[in-house]
Amino acid sequence: MSDTPYTIVIGLEVHVQLATQSKLFCGCSTQFGAGPNTQTCPICTGMPGTLPVMNRRAFELSLRTAVALNCQIAPFTKWDRKQYYYPDLPKGYQISQYDLPFSSDGYVEIADAKGRFKPKRVGIIRAHLEEDAGKSMHDEKAGQADSRIDLNRAGTPLLEIVSQPDMRSPAEAKAFLEELKLLLTYLGVSDCNMQEGSLRVDANVNLHLTDERGEKIATPIVEIKNMNSFRAVERALTYESARQYDVWQETRQKLGDVPKQTRGWDDTANVTHGQRHKEESSDYRYFPDPDLVPVTVAAEEVERVRAELGELPAQMRERLEKTYGINAYDSDVLVNQGRELVSYFVDVADTCGDGKVASNWVQQDVLRLLKELGTDIEAFPVRPWALADLLKKVKAGEVDTTRGREVFALMVSAGKSLEEAMQELGIEKVDESALVELCKQLIAANPKLVADVKAGKMQAAGAFVGQAKKANPNVNPARVREICLELIAAM
């Protein structure tokens, strides 16, 4: 399958900022972009004597995500302290989950509509909840550098999702992230804004290859950080796998020969660069946080969450393909646009009775117009049943596709109803007898074309259609062609 002499092995760690109004252990706002340290309180700044109290909402959102990721939900889960010193970590420890995460052993199914890889399951090792740290801002002027700390972000709830190293190409990694992001969006648990840090991705990557003696070996694992878009992830992985192969050829270093390395992705230079060798593994001295009571999750609660999940992207694609007879590529395009667009499509398809036509129009025309208008489907001026009425007319041959587009454009731009738009464009149905009369005239006026058709040059019939449309823009081109061919055959 691969044209490289190695297999890339990729595992991803995704930090998702949950869409809560307030922080994980206090009531401070999590709104992005406020002035430094304006969204802080004695609890999230780690003042002496303060105690954390868990935000139930954050836990519910995490639970919803974990269930959607097909995870096992632990009936008993506790909080641990991960200790390290850093100025943006006000308590000197981060409240996280260590050996008993609230969820584990899930999976996400990924597929590629373009067929670059076979559909597969990517395992989820665990998903756990933790608090974010603050932000350090370092003055770049060397020597007289001031470091400033903004603790607005400290205590923001993060869901850390750790995948199995199941991905075998940068494309698979990108597909995993896209599917995950789509899932999170469908669940409404995060705004997934990578620019604002709502979604942060680290990748662990190494290569599996066979050496000259036929021995299977693995290269040392490298963790790549600071990738700010899915495209960057894909490019970083592509770069890194080639780099690791070069390093392997040069040094023959195998997994275990050198400590795990952290490399940063430089998006402009298009390279990864070494950040630091961890001299020894950090000792975080995890232990259960004595300030927080363990959380118990009843089986009924998990069932309730499962029941309230609603239809998720994978199921939705399947339903669209089955119910509306559209192909995998089309269902993928529709579902990737989000729940609202899908429901628009479903309304159009149900009302006009043709899933394929509805899918074509929604994908081509609606999406193009949305982009031009810079709006979303909820604000789109043409409601689904109005589009469906237009499509019915197109199907019935009352309006041809090109004229239909003009009608639709007018409905969108001027807010006209279907009838108004058709009237304005002077579209009316051409009577069958008038159509036959017109065809007879055209045949009489074009003996050369008739001869060509008779000689088997069927494309010559197209010229009749063109002339007919010039004579009357409302004619149905397919019908004109049919009638002309019939008349010529009968000559």
Partner 1 sequence: MSLIEKSAKQLLADLSARSVSAVEVTEAYLTEIASHDAKVGAFLRVDAEGALAKARDIDQRRALNQPVGHLAGIPVAVKDILCSRGEVVTCASRILEHFAAPYDSTVVAKLKAADAVLIGRTNLDEFAMGGSTENSAFHVTHNPWDLSCFAGGSSGGSAASVAARMAPLAIGTDTGGSIRQPAGLCGITGLKPTYGHVSRYGVVAFASSLDQVGPMARTAEDAALLLETIAGHDPLDSTSVHSPVPPYSEWIEQPLEGLTIGLVREHFGPGLDEEVNAAVRDAIRIYESLGAKVKEVSLPHSKYAVATYYIIAPSEASSNLARYDGAHYGYRTDERDMLAELDAQRKALEAAGDKKAAAQLDTALVRMYRRSRSEGFGAEVKRRIMLGTYALSAGYYDAYYLKALKVRRLIRQDFDKAFEDVDLIAGPATAAPGYKIGERADDPLAMYLLDLYTVSANLAGIGGIVFPCGFSQAGLPIGLQLQAPPFEEDRLLRAAHMFQRATDWHTRRPALT
Residues in contact with partner 1 by CB under 8 A are 42, 45-54, 81, 83, 85, 87, 90-93, 149, 281, 283, 285-287, 289-293
Residue 113's Cα: distance from chain center in Å? Answer: 13
Angle, in degrees to the nearest 10, between helices 401-414 and 384-395: 160
CB 149 within 8 A of CB 87: yes
| Pairing label, strands 271-277, 261-266 | antiparallel
Nearer of residues 131 and 234 to partner 1, judged by Cβ = 131
C-alpha 159/C-alpha 58 separation (Å) is: 9
C-alpha 227/C-alpha 192 separation (Å) is: 14
Nearer of residues 292 and 410 to partner 1, judged by Cβ = 292
Nearer of residues 293 and 396 to partner 1, judged by Cβ = 293
C-alpha 252/C-alpha 278 separation (Å) is: 20
Sign (positive/negative) of CA torsion 277, 279, 281, 285? negative
Residue 371's Cα: distance from chain center in Å? Answer: 17
H/E run at residue 453:
helix 447-454
Name the minimum Å distance from CB 263 to partner 1.
21
C-alpha 75/C-alpha 448 separation (Å) is: 83
Name the minimum Å distance from CB 375 to partner 1.
44
Name the minimum Å distance from CB 178 to partner 1.
37
Nearer of residues 113 and 292 to partner 1, judged by Cβ = 292
Token pair listed for 396 = 């019935």
Nearer of residues 95 and 488 to partner 1, judged by Cβ = 95
C-alpha 206/C-alpha 10 separation (Å) is: 7
Concatenated DSSP letters for 102-139?
SEEEEEEEE--TT-SS--EEEEEEEEEEEE---EEEE-
In 3D space, the residue among 57, 94, 61 whose CA is nearest the CA of residue 79 turns out to be 94
Token pair listed for 41 = 């309180």
Nearer of residues 91 and 200 to partner 1, judged by Cβ = 91
Name the minimum Å distance from CB 136 to partner 1.
10
Nearer of residues 133 and 205 to partner 1, judged by Cβ = 133
Nearer of residues 54 and 125 to partner 1, judged by Cβ = 54
Name the minimum Å distance from CB 254 to partner 1.
25
CB 39 within 8 A of CB 46: no
Name the minimum Å distance from CB 12 to partner 1.
26
Name the minimum Å distance from CB 157 to partner 1.
16
Nearer of residues 17 and 45 to partner 1, judged by Cβ = 45
C-alpha 220/C-alpha 214 separation (Å) is: 19
In 3D space, the residue among 183, 174, 227 whose CA is nearest the CA of residue 202 turns out to be 227
Name the minimum Å distance from CB 262 to partner 1.
18
As beta bridge partners, residue 22 has 29
Name the minimum Å distance from CB 285 to partner 1.
4
In 3D space, the residue among 350, 316, 321 whose CA is nearest the CA of residue 336 turns out to be 316
Nearer of residues 40 and 272 to partner 1, judged by Cβ = 40
Name the minimum Å distance from CB 226 to partner 1.
21
Residues 6+ apart with CB under 8 A from 153: 132, 133, 134, 135, 197
Name the minimum Å distance from CB 75 to partner 1.
19
C-alpha 103/C-alpha 336 separation (Å) is: 26
Name the minimum Å distance from CB 365 to partner 1.
54
CB 192 within 8 A of CB 184: yes
C-alpha 209/C-alpha 6 separation (Å) is: 5
**If you compute the radius of gyration of the chain from its CA atoms, what whole number of angstroms results?**
30
CB 181 within 8 A of CB 191: no
